[in-house]
Structure 1
């Protein structure tokens, strides 16, 4: 058979071309890439910490890949772990526009859990290898000690915080509310905190000052003029008076408090009975008839039982005009819960509820099932202490302490009473004293060592309010013990800026009448109040 010369020529040319192509083509084995040194979870504080990752990338052919290797490119992307828009309509964000191997970027995200992808791409083959990890962003306002301060000579209201990110990580954060909508206020008074399981409202947090009281969003701490307490909690907002004291009366329900009571700087008191007469404060209750014009002024204190739910259904206040104790009780007649009544004396009482003295201080405790301590001062400047038990539904006279062996007690303006031991702490200048009420003995707390330019601005025990709702039973013993530590706020008057404040935590030794310092944080303004932001 004769072969066509043209076909033969094309066959030979094609065979040679294939032969040449095989000799010129550079065949490469595809490398296996492994990624190491990336944690499963990176925990950061939003808008404070940086997200830092330093991965180790290894090629089965080339060994460890360094950041200078031009054959590879790197990428970090992040999105919400449970889905949803992240920012500006995007579901994910490129954390690493520069394409560097290592990541170091500000955690500028809201508190949430995110999932991140780290990917390595071999630019020669286009093969990509990736590894995921979680990024848990916590808010500095999520949990921890809220520290209310006065800043500078003008005493600008400022909220700092000791943020508890985890059991191992506790970080101070400063001046949180300025960027969150709190108006410019002067003269901080205190923090109102009311834990609540009811759907609306949820936990309430109030910042009280001499120029207004504002509710904070429980998750973000954002606030504005619409959240002034008169706009959200009053039927008829008070005029030219501001709430300076706010507390809750525990009920039998674990869902929330029986009632909330508050006192204004004008000396008026208000009651908000949550499960009966309505969800708002009504008329002033420092009167003998509901809706009547106030008949006297009350001191800025409300004494309640701080013991278990249902242990106390009453509140104790003090009439500063008539120098007597007055009481509020829960009942089943709405009118009765919107007035205060003078507390009646008993024949075998330790003292008269109509004291005739000035009230210096009042504090609610868990001691003896719900004891309220009151410090009173007579016309000669001599001071005594009354203990009134608020358990059940009455005002039981339990203790009277006179002729106290307590140096400079008559000069003190800052006090704190313990809930486990019969101890009163008081401060004068830079000195703190422990007075044992049982033995009438005073001990200087030399372990609280403050400099000559420092002065005590606050003493307090932060009793957890959610203990009353049985919501903190799953916490560690160490955490629960924190509420019985003495908190000492102090300020260095020689500080070159407005950040001379310190907050120390001191466990109390009930056997040896002493305290020891567990921790101390600095950088605050003048501390006025501290309340732990509890989480369930």
Structure 2
């Protein structure tokens, strides 16, 4: 009975407290809620990196007066594996030059009220496509003598992308030398060589920095003065020879952008380095891991590489004349070096141009071969170039893949010389324009009947940023006449003053 009375008392007290008139001083304010409208978020975006700029001016509504205590954040989150996030901006209106990898993204816009920490957001979807997937990478010079990187992209539509180094993270680099794209592995990089050194760029976003300097690919980053990549030849995925700071480096297992070892332009048993020509001859059609070079000091051919036991890997060796081939020419020529040319002619013949003290020029032809598991170097023939007009002034060289033509350029003139028929023909005279590049295609268009080369010209009446033109030509397989035709639709102007080009496959 007492328990029942106690419960009744407690219930009565509770009812009395509920009826108590609280006369405290309470000041309630209406909440200034924010809403983000659908303008700019009611559509999906299809954008192209390095071409499009994403612009969104969101509509922000306030329940009361406009709030100035706001913080804005734009973020793109990848819908792929890893869900990587990319900050795009911190302003109310988004103006973002697109430079993201190819992917589908969720675009988030977040508004934070800093007075009460309330957050509001809206989202949409965007698809980014990449113009950087494939095309010609063009290294040239601007009006300040600095390296400029342009690109003729084939990824979405053929177009020219300008000044790719501007936001790359690299310092201003003077004296462009060579661009080299390593296409054997996805993670390999784009090499930009200048007189100020060589840097590597990420192949997806063309970004780099001090940490991507080529010196970090050496066991000793202080082993060279400038780390200027001048020439490189690569067989298949891993066998590579390169000339850096006028020194030869060779390694049979340089996977990815691996580490360079000691210079190889010396003979076995001695580390006295000899001067070498600035080009490496190799066979792009065979699996021969031999590379041919020229010893300028001894004025003779030397080679490096090979897979057999005792092959000169990491050093060079001389070539021996035999009774059966000494009448063709001697490997110890006694002549001065001009250039070497790799080609797809027949079995992948290589050529070297040499000159004597009297001013005569010669073309040495040889083949780096691989048969039945063995590599060999075979002499072919020595040709006179005395009838090749202006050969002494030539700066650029190439060799036809189908005909016995030496293609060369000097000043504004482009020549073809049939070294068997001893017949020369002026192919083009570009007048007031200067030929700055002759690039023979031995790696890209290599089907039956393909015989293409590219000529870079510069119009001095225009700026170095835009005065360059790249044109593609095809050698016609005519046995009676030297015919070279411009390929329709394959000429691009508005480029920098071209120094070097290379093709990016993916």
> Per the shorter chain, which TM-score range?
0.7 to 0.9
Of 424, 428, 436, which aligns to 2:418?
436
Correspondence for 1:23: none
The 8 Å contact of residues 458 and 489 in structure 1, kept in 2 or not, is answered as yes
Verify: 1:489 aligned to 2:456, yes or no.
Answer: yes
SS of equivalent to 1:445: strand
C-alpha distance in 2 between matches for 1:497 and 1:188: 13
How much does 1:135 deviate?
A: 2.9
Correspondence for 2:318: 342
The 8 Å contact of residues 55 and 93 in structure 2, kept in 1 or not, is answered as no
Change beyond 3 A, Cα 1:437–1:403:
closer
Verify: 1:300 aligned to 2:290, yes or no.
Answer: no
C-alpha distance in 2 between matches for 1:490 and 1:236: 37
SS of equivalent to 1:368: coil
Correspondence for 1:180: 168
Correspondence for 2:138: 147
C-alpha distance in 2 between matches for 1:378 and 1:520: 38
Change beyond 3 A, Cα 1:411–1:234:
same
How much does 1:456 deviate?
A: 0.3
The 8 Å contact of residues 273 and 279 in structure 1, kept in 2 or not, is answered as no
Aligned-residue RMSD, C-alpha: 3.6
Verify: 1:410 aligned to 2:376, yes or no.
Answer: no
Correspondence for 2:241: 261
Correspondence for 1:524: 495
SS of equivalent to 2:137: strand
SS of equivalent to 2:392: helix
Q: Kindly indicate which of the two structures has a greater share of residues assigned to helix.
A: 1
Is there any run of 5+ residues in structure 1 with no aligned partner, and where?
Answer: 1-37, 54-76, 99-104, 118-131, 466-477
Correspondence for 1:29: none
1:228-266 deviation line (CA, Å, top 9, x unaligned): 222124456532243333423425xxxx13x2111133x
How much does 1:529 deviate?
A: 1.0
Verify: 1:138 aligned to 2:130, yes or no.
Answer: yes
1:192-247 deviation line (CA, Å, top 9, x unaligned): 333324x8xx3343122222111222222212222222212445653224333342
C-alpha distance in 1 between matches for 2:278 and 2:197: 15
Provide the TM-score with structure 2 as the length reference: 0.74
1:168-198 deviation line (CA, Å, top 9, x unaligned): x11111221232122322222212333324x
The 8 Å contact of residues 489 and 502 in structure 1, kept in 2 or not, is answered as yes
Of 192, 197, 213, which aligns to 1:212?
197
Correspondence for 1:82: 80
C-alpha distance in 2 between matches for 1:79 and 1:283: 45
Change beyond 3 A, Cα 1:426–1:479:
closer
How much does 1:305 deviate?
A: 0.7
Provide the TM-score with structure 1 as the length reference: 0.70
C-alpha distance in 2 between matches for 1:39 and 1:361: 58
How much does 1:333 deviate?
A: 5.3
Count the aligned residue pairs: 423
The 8 Å contact of residues 316 and 325 in structure 1, kept in 2 or not, is answered as yes
The 8 Å contact of residues 192 and 245 in structure 1, kept in 2 or not, is answered as no
C-alpha distance in 2 between matches for 1:238 and 1:361: 27
C-alpha distance in 2 between matches for 1:526 and 1:275: 32
Change beyond 3 A, Cα 1:288–1:376:
same
C-alpha distance in 2 between matches for 1:462 and 1:346: 34
The 8 Å contact of residues 373 and 388 in structure 1, kept in 2 or not, is answered as yes
Correspondence for 1:49: 52
1:463-483 deviation line (CA, Å, top 9, x unaligned): 337xxxxxxxxxxxx896897
